[in-house]
Amino acid sequence: MISRAEVLARLPYTHVDDHFIGGAWTASSDMTRNPVTDPATNEQWGSVPAATEAELDQAVGGARAALPEWSGLQAADRAEFLVRIADEIEARAEDLALTNTLENGTPITETRGAAANAAGIFRHFATLASWLDDEDARLFPVGDGSYSVVRKDPVGVCALVAPWNFPINLVVVKLAPALLAGCSVVIKPASVTPLSIRFIIDAVAAAGVPAGVVNLLTGPGRFGDALVKHPGVDKVAFTGSTPVGRQIASACGQLLRPVTLELGGKSSAIVLPDADLHAMSNVLIRSCMRNTGQTCYISTRIIAPASRYDEVAEVVAATIGRAQQGDPLEESTVFGPVASAAQFSTVMEYIDSGHAQGARVLTGGEAAEMGGELSAGQFIEPTVFAEVDPAMRISTEEIFGPVISILRYDDSAGVQDAIDLANNTEFGLGGIVFGGDEDRAQAVADQVDSGSVGVNFFGSNHSAPFGGRHDSGLGVEYGLEGLSQYISYKSIHRKG
Catalytic residue numbers, as ranges:
262, 296
Are 158 and 174 in contact by the 8 Å Cβ rule? The answer is yes
* Measured distance CA(225)–CA(240) in Å, rounded: 13
Q: What is the DSSP letter of 187?
A: E
Q: How many chain residues interact with ligand NAP (CB under 6 A)?
A: 30
Residue 200 CA to residue 189 CA, distance in Å, equals 12
Binding string to ligand NAP for residues 3 to 42, with x set by CB under 6 A, is what?
A: ----------------------------------------
Element (H, E) at 139: strand 137-139
Q: To the nearest whole angstrom, how small is the minimum distance from the Cβ of residue 163 to ligand NAP?
A: 3
Q: How far apart, in whole angstroms, are the C-alpha atoms of residue 35 and residue 59?
A: 23
Shortest distance (Å) from residue 81 CB to ligand NAP: 25
Least CB distance to ligand NAP at residue 218 (A): 8
Count of Cβ atoms closer than 10 Å to residue 494 Cβ: 11
Helix (H) / strand (E) containing 252: helix 242-255
Question: Minimum CB separation from ligand NAP for residue 238, in Å?
Answer: 7
Task: Return d(Cα 386, Cα 255) in angstroms, integer.
Answer: 46
State the residue number with the nearest CB to ligand NAP: 224
CB of 467 to ligand NAP, least distance (A): 7
DSSP letters spanning 82-125: HHHHHHHHHTTHHHHHHHHHHHH---HHHHTTHHHHHHHHHHHH
**Which of 38, 95, 262, 411 lies at the binding interface for ligand NAP (CB under 6 A)?**
262
Candidate list 42, 241, 346, 460; residue touching ligand NAP; CB under 6 A: 241
Task: Please state, in angstroms and as integers, the Cα–Cα distance from residue 317 to each residue in 106, 296, 383, following that order.
Answer: 22, 21, 8
Determine the distance from the C-alpha atom of residue 185 to the mean position of all C-alpha atoms in its chain, rounded to a whole number. 18
- Per CB under 6 A, does 188 bind ligand NAP? yes
At residue 300, the 3 state secondary structure works out as coil
Q: Contact, 136 vs 150, CB < 8 A?
A: yes
Q: Which is nearer to ligand NAP, 161 or 386 (CB)?
A: 161
Q: Which of residues 46, 240, 377, 402 is near ligand NAP by CB under 6 A?
A: 240
d(CA 19, CA 27): 7
Using CB under 6 A as the binding rule, the residues of this chain from 292 to 351 that contact ligand NAP are 296
Touching ligand NAP, residues 384-443 (CB under 6 A): 398, 400, 429
CB of 63 to ligand NAP, least distance (A): 17
Which window, 218-226, 366-374, 386-394, 406-414, contacts ligand NAP (CB under 6 A)?
Answer: 218-226
Question: Looking at 49-57, 208-216, 260-268, 271-279, which segment touches ligand NAP (CB under 6 A)?
Answer: 260-268
- Binding to ligand NAP by CB under 6 A, coded x per residue (else -) over 141-180, reads --------------------xxxxx----x----------
Residues engaged in binding ligand NAP (CB under 6 A): 161-165, 170, 188, 190-191, 220-221, 224-225, 228, 239-241, 244, 247-248, 262-265, 296, 398, 400, 429, 468, 473
